[in-house]
Amino acid sequence: MAMDTGAFLTKLEMVTTSDHSSVVSMNLFVALLCACIVIGHLLEENRWMNESITALAIGLGTGIVILLTTGGKSSHLLVFSEDLFFIYLLPPIIFNAGFQVKKKQFFRNFMTIMLFGAVGTLISFAIISLGAIHFFQKMNIGSLKIGDILAIGAIFSATDSVCTLQVLNQDETPLLYSVVFGEGVVNDATSVVLFNAIQSFDLYHIDSVIALQFIGSFLYLFITSTMLGVLAGLLSAFMIKKLYFGRHSTDREVALMILMAYLSYMLAELFYLSAILTVFFCGIVMSHYTWHNVTESSRVTTKHAFATLSFVAEIFIFLYVGMDALDIDKWRFISDSPGKSVAVSSILLGLVLVGRAAFVFPLSFLSNLTKNSPHDRISLKQQVTIWWAGLMRGAVSMALAYNQFTRSGHTQLHLNAIMITSTISVVLFSTVVFGLMTKPLVRILLPPSKQITSVISSEPSSPKSVIVPLLSNGHESEADKGSQHVTRPTSLRMLLSIPSHTVHHYWRKFDDSFMRPVFGGRGFVPFIPGSPIEDVVQWH
């Protein structure tokens, strides 16, 4: 009995020690997050640095300190897992992106965004995969299977636009911002869908039937994922409009919006869909309908709550990536052949550069054929900026690489170790070097005009994105008013551009006549008993 009691106390002591070490780790990590925010604020006016690079640098510095204090055993405060990234960190980032996006610009450039995000990613995927086959077979780094080669193509096709979007201004360069931002979201979804499809198909017996199944699966995932996000957003709008949560508690409105958004993401994961696309379109629909159905205090709260969650998740990711880059276990396996790892990293970086250029410039030319106005066309300087903006690789690439080349966070194979360390090297180099050069490059290629700067400084603090209706042109500009008197050119451009105006026109009529009366939206005033507007509430 005494022995049992002693053993129990020993186990209890071990659990208590483990729990305490976890508490210590969390304290240190939260302190580092605070440090990232403070230092990022102090460097706000710096023309080189941004929040992502700051967090990455602090992560690297912290990793070095931990390595020294643990005698080279570990560089981590927390253990990385795909679940942590895909289930907890990615949803608030993507949802806030959809919630805050300027829908006018996003849907005006929707075909361009889909060209870059879907078709462009497939072109980049093909070039990187073919390049990997050509170069890696000659280097004799190990027996790469066809699944590994195609997975490498998907891993390095995933761009990381977070770093660039912190530099671009949605008001100064609306066309550029909407294209880079929209492409980044669609690109991430396309890369993840490609990666999952590669793992689920028999790649050793490819024929026309399997190729058609692959394309069909791809389209099915895109369409169903988008529809699930739209349905979740509409359901939240209908519930909040009909049940008037604001008359009792604004907290319930805010909680329901957050939980419905997260539920859409988890439902997509449950049914093996693209959760990124689902939560993104859920954000767009919520900002168009649901957000207008809640009370004024809930509107302010949700806008800042979603932005804050996204901001913290982004810093968390970059901070951890910085620490993970110094994980000694990965580097120990390639210590006998560091030259090969450097060569693999250089080849992958070169393929990323070529793969990006191979679709940005040709697809920009095709996109420009569909534009009537010169202001809507992508200039050569903007094309260079878009090319550069998509060169950075980040957390999605890291997560997919872990999935393909590790088991439980560690790898025991030389080939896998080379691929993991090469991925880390590409992510670090592209984020730091390309990221540092992005802001000066944008300033040189696209200097902000004085007129735009004065308009931005005089705008209200709340973003237009949450008050501009879906697919609408917002406030009618003189160009919009005068567009009726402009003779349309009889050319291919006219043929390609007229349907979009027709779709826009009919969508506005459909939205005003059917959608807003049911789901609320702009112009809808929530009913609050006892409020001054109780007697003049108009239901739409």
Map tokens 């490819």 to a residue.
206
Q: Which tokens go with 173?
A: 């360069």
Angle at 269 between CA 268 and CA 274, to 5 degrees: 60
309-355: pLDDT as tens digits:
988 988 888 888 888 777 777 777 776 667 778 889 999 999 999 99
Q: Which of 388, 470, 469, 394 is nearest to 168 (CA)?
A: 388
DSSP 3-state of 400: helix
Query: In angstroms, rounded to a whole number, what is the distance separating the alpha carbons of residues 168 and 188?
Result: 19
Per-residue pLDDT, 215: 80
The one-letter code for the residue type at 81 is S
Per-residue pLDDT, 308: 93
Residues in the chain: 540
165 touches 187 (CB < 8 A): no
469 touches 197 (CB < 8 A): no
Longest Cα–Cα distance of the chain, Å, equals 96
192 touches 400 (CB < 8 A): yes
DSSP 3-state of 490: coil
Query: In angstroms, rounded to a whole number, what is the distance separating the alpha carbons of residues 74 and 68?
Result: 9
Residue 507 has a CB neighbour count (10 Å cut-off) of 16
Angle at 323 between CA 320 and CA 327, to 5 degrees: 125
Chain centroid to Cα 17, Å, comes to 38
Q: If you compute the radius of gyration of the chain from its CA atoms, what whole number of angstroms results?
A: 25
Chain centroid to Cα 534, Å, comes to 41
Per-residue pLDDT, 278: 93
Domain 82-445 CATH (choose: 1.20.1530.20, 1.10.287.980, 3.40.50.970, 3.50.50.60) = 1.20.1530.20
141 touches 344 (CB < 8 A): yes
Map tokens 């390609």 to a residue.
496
Q: Which tokens go with 475?
A: 């406030």
List for the chain the helix, strand, coil content (%; round to 5): 75, 0, 25
User: For residue 407, what are the β-bridge partners?
Assistant: 410
Phi, psi values for residue 538, rounded to 5°:
-115, 130
Extract the residue ranges of the chain whose pLDDT is less than 70. 1-18, 45-50, 72, 74-76, 78-80, 142, 161-167, 169, 202-206, 246-247, 335-337, 407-412, 448-505, 523-540
Map tokens 């968390």 to a residue.
316
Query: In angstroms, rounded to a whole number, what is the distance separating the alpha carbons of residues 134 and 128?
Result: 10
Per-residue pLDDT, 101: 79
279 touches 265 (CB < 8 A): yes
CA atoms within 13 A on the CB side of 219: 5
Handedness of CA 86, 89, 91, 96 (dihedral sign): negative
Query: In angstroms, rounded to a whole number, what is the distance separating the alpha carbons of residues 17 and 526?
Result: 52
The one-letter code for the residue type at 283 is G
Q: Which helix H or strand E contains 343, and what residues bound it? A: helix 338-369
DSSP result, 292-343: HHS-HHHHHHHHHHHHHHHHHHHHHHHHHHHHHTT-HHHHHTTTT-HHHHHH
Query: In angstroms, rounded to a whole number, what is the distance separating the alpha carbons of residues 256 and 529?
Result: 21
